[in-house]
Structure 1
Amino acid sequence: MPHRTFLCRLIFCAIFSVSIINVFNGASSPSFFLHYSKPAAALQHHVVCPQSELADDVLVVLRTGATESRQKVPVHFQTTLRCVPHFIILSDLDEEIEGHAVHDVLGGHGGVTEKKRNEHDDFKLYHQLQKHGRQNVDSQRVIMAESGSSKGDYLNTGNEGWKLDKWKFLPMIDRSYQEMPNAKWYVFIEADTFLGWNNLLEYLANFDPSKPYYIGKHLYINDIEFGYGGAGFVLSNPAMRKVIEQRSMRFRDYEDFTATHWVGDCALGKVLEDAKVPLHRAFPHFQGDSPATLDPATSKIDRTAWCFPVITYHHVSPAEISDLWRFEQEWYKKVCVPRPWYTRDLKRTNYKADCATLARHLTSPPRCLP
């Protein structure tokens, strides 16, 4: 593991250096202040949460399943989600994990039809969960290895939880929109995805949320292009509404499409294609690999991994998510404490203070300068 830890840090140093370069070039620099969105975070005074005007307009949706949720979800409450004002956890079982509600997205309004749930073999596990709860769930194999599965999740088709997962993609659009209908952006990640919150906010600031955007790492199955769910993807509010409308017009057709395809992100890509919302290819900002398995020489759409700030990593274990979070926090503190600061109101007095002092004295988010 020492060489993997070193590689993680090396890659992060290269990525974060881009932010510093942007500051020297006069480009937008990260905004920082101690903003505790969750009670658990408020008790930890050493946590530094990047913030921007967009933060309250973003809903982060973490998709998981009962076969992995207890092992993989808690680390997110201890790391990135501590800085996220609005998030929801969607699964195949209603339960509570460390005080946070986890919602079954397959049943009820907007979920999979009862007819399809009763007739399709993929729902064997779902019926067991609804009848017996978590009993015997632990017998399902959960991939917890460092840097994820060397085979890749698209080859993990024998897992019952994996079979059930593809049915969540379309219902989770309706459920997420119901949760926060006025959000400008909806960000979808998985339990083994690391999310760089600050890089996400900086990236989304370049797009007009009043337009239908579908943003993610592109993949193809046959002739359908879609955003890879493991790398995370983003939909704007207008794009969400288009999906919901399109799906409502051909509900059974899209259920049949999902039944005959092996991944749900492809089914969502099909609905968006029919709704005339093309994918905005976001490689290498959204990564399908972990830092330890990422090949920086890989080139897609005339881009390599270098000089692009990473927003997500995939196939990362809880331990690796914690390591990445700690590295990120250490970097923020080195950049921000102590530094000269300024506010958006140029008439105000400049302060020289650390993040905590500024959080107490400034009414608008400070910007950190090198």
Structure 2
Amino acid sequence: MTATSIDWNRVGMGPQPARLRPRSRRKLRWLPGRPAVGLGLAAAVVLLLWALLPYDNTLRLAVWWNAKRLREALLPAPSERWAHDDAPPRHPLDVGRDVLVIVKTGYGTRDRVPAWLEALPEASRFRDIMVIADSEGDVMFAAPGAPEEQKLHVYDAVGHSIRQHLAAFRGHPRVRKYQQLAEAIYRGDEALALQHCRAFGWELDAMKFLSGLEMAYQKYPDKQWYLLVDDDTYLVQPTLFRLLQHLDPRRPRYLGNPVGDFRARFAHGGSGIALSRAAVARLVGDRRGLAALHAASLDETWGDRLLARALLRLGVHLDETYARWFNGEPPALARVRADRVCAPLASFHKFPSPDAMRDVGRRFRDLPVDGEALVWGRLWEMHGRPAPWAVPDGEAADGWDYVGLPDESMLTLGGVGAAAACRRHCERRSRACMAWSWDAAAGLCHVSAWMTVGEPAPGKVSGVNVPRAKRLAAECGL
């Protein structure tokens, strides 16, 4: 009996093995349900949805966000060496002609605007500055190097939004609040006007972003860059000019300090927002979408988030490549993390008073506006303090705080009885710790992943992770 004639069932070995079965002459075909076909169909569905879904659809934003995170994980961070070398810029600018600064203020904070203007260096390259607010008026200021006071007009961005886009919403509570403020200002009732600003000025602020950019584009349509800043935002001109001249304004660009999750990732207004001409032209040109978003501003809490929504509808995402360049804190309290010691620094924010703005202007006045970009690691030098990498190992500062206000992102340990014990907690976490601060009265030890220039803090002892700070500073020759 040949092998092919064996009755396998009779000998108790089950059906004939596949390797001994005669091969079928029919060609195998990929049938529906097979893995390759399923993957192909899934990919086709994803591509179809990607093509058909609006830019601001949650599914599309989730795919975009995760693809970006994956790319960041797999690829090395782009080099920023160009910010410090002497090579010609890729996209040269005449800053006075090509850049517009839009300073956002309000009736209740208008005293900050003269300080903002007076903090500019004498060699400032900013020529066109447009101030927007919730009322019309003028501000007087002492320009650096000018023999007498100068005047700058303030444009009513909220009134513009109401007149041009919100005629059908005259009864909305936010419109009525604007009218109450306008009436108090018209009657010269300063106390009532300031009371209104304290009560609902923040609501009117959300209405300034879109209308301010719209007014700016109408008045200055040929600018290559539009910088939108708060009245307590300081711009470091040499750093900013390096960045703008590295990027092509003919492409839609939206830059700033990122806040929020993937569904509404937006640039923090206080840290400063940079928009290319292409981005602003696309925004202002979308008349139907812009009208709907002006209506949305009546209920929006944050105008900078609304601006991001408007841009997302048009396919313009926040570019986070240069996120570290924009900062939402004042210089002495700016959190210098490990990846920022050698990174360029273009803005500061949240000054407690107009005099604090003038003070930072004096500290940074000697920076050549066409010079090298300022890096985070030079903040100590700008404040006349020894740099952390110049401090002897183990030396702590009594009555000083290198950490700053505690929050949920730092490690706080209770029952710590001495500064030396707090320092050891930092040393045990040397790969994560940048600075530590011990509160003697409370027995609390704060360990942070950043360090600051710091400020006087009676009753505290503080120090930095000196070996780590030295290694980081050596990377850029500080």
TM-score using structure 2 length? 0.52
Give 3-state SS (helix, strand or coil) of 1:283's partner.
Answer: helix
Further displaced range: 107-116 or 170-179: 107-116
Q: Give 1:167 deviation, angstroms.
A: 0.8
Which of 100, 104, 109 is the matching residue for 1:68? 109
Q: Which has the higher contact order (CA 8 A, sep 6+)?
A: 1
Counterpart for residue 96 of structure 2: 55
TM-score using structure 1 length? 0.66
What residue ranges of structure 2 are gaps of 5+ in the alignment?
1-79, 141-150, 373-478
Contact in 2 for aligned 1:63/1:188 (Cα 8 Å): yes
Counterpart for residue 232 of structure 2: 192
Within 1, Cα distance between the matches of 2:299 and 2:183? Answer: 26
Q: Percent identity?
A: 23
Contact in 1 for aligned 2:325/2:344 (Cα 8 Å): yes
Counterpart for residue 97 of structure 1: 139
Contact in 1 for aligned 2:121/2:365 (Cα 8 Å): no
Deviations 1:37-84, CA, capped at 9 Å, x for gaps: xxxxxxxxxxxxxx9633320000001111111x21111221228621
Counterpart for residue 153 of structure 1: none
Within 1, Cα distance between the matches of 2:177 and 2:273? Answer: 27
Residues 174 and 308 (structure 1 numbering): CA distance in 2 closer, same or farther, change over 3 Å? same
Counterpart for residue 281 of structure 2: 241
Counterpart for residue 210 of structure 1: 250
Within 2, Cα distance between the matches of 1:259 and 1:108? Answer: 13
Q: Give 1:258 deviation, angstroms.
A: 2.5
Counterpart for residue 66 of structure 2: none
Counterpart for residue 342 of structure 2: 307
Residues 235 and 81 (structure 1 numbering): CA distance in 2 closer, same or farther, change over 3 Å? farther
Counterpart for residue 119 of structure 2: 79
Counterpart for residue 44 of structure 1: none
Q: What residue identity is the alignment partner of 2:134? A: D
Give 3-state SS (helix, strand or coil) of 1:186's partner.
Answer: strand
Q: Give 1:162 deviation, angstroms.
A: 0.7
Deviations 1:170-201, CA, capped at 9 Å, x for gaps: 11111010121000000000011111122211
The CA RMSD over aligned residues, in Å, is 3.1
The equivalences for 1:127-276 within 5 A come to 127-133=179-185, 135-138=188-191, 159-220=199-260, 223-246=263-286, 248-276=287-315
Contact in 2 for aligned 1:112/1:171 (Cα 8 Å): no
Within 1, Cα distance between the matches of 2:99 and 2:328? Answer: 22
Deviations 1:199-231, CA, capped at 9 Å, x for gaps: 211110100111111111111267111111111
Counterpart for residue 364 of structure 2: 328
Which of 115, 125, 128 is the matching residue for 2:168? 115
Q: What residue identity is the alignment partner of 1:324? A: V
Q: Give 1:305 deviation, angstroms.
A: 2.7
Residues 168 and 235 (structure 1 numbering): CA distance in 2 closer, same or farther, change over 3 Å? same
Number of residue pairs the alignment of both structures matches: 273
Within 2, Cα distance between the matches of 1:287 and 1:140? Answer: 32
Within 2, Cα distance between the matches of 1:241 and 1:21? Answer: 28
Contact in 2 for aligned 1:67/1:137 (Cα 8 Å): no
Q: Give 1:276 deviation, angstroms.
A: 0.6
Within 2, Cα distance between the matches of 1:136 and 1:228? Answer: 33
Q: What residue identity is the alignment partner of 2:131? A: I
Counterpart for residue 444 of structure 2: none
Which of 318, 323, 329 is the matching residue for 2:354? 318
Deviations 1:4-29, CA, capped at 9 Å, x for gaps: xxxxxxxxxxxxxxx99976x54569
Residues 275 and 329 (structure 1 numbering): CA distance in 2 closer, same or farther, change over 3 Å? same
Within 1, Cα distance between the matches of 2:316 and 2:262? Answer: 18
Give 3-state SS (helix, strand or coil) of 1:223's partner.
Answer: helix
Q: What residue identity is the alignment partner of 2:168? A: K
Contact in 2 for aligned 1:94/1:102 (Cα 8 Å): yes
Within 1, Cα distance between the matches of 2:210 and 2:297? Answer: 9
Contact in 2 for aligned 1:66/1:137 (Cα 8 Å): no
Within 2, Cα distance between the matches of 1:54 and 1:165? Answer: 28
What residue ranges of structure 1 are gaps of 5+ in the alignment?
1-18, 30-50, 143-156, 337-370
The equivalences for 1:15-54 within 5 A come to 26-27=86-87, 53-54=94-95
Q: What residue identity is the alignment partner of 1:319? A: D
Contact in 1 for aligned 2:103/2:129 (Cα 8 Å): yes
Q: What residue identity is the alignment partner of 1:105? A: A
Contact in 2 for aligned 1:166/1:263 (Cα 8 Å): yes
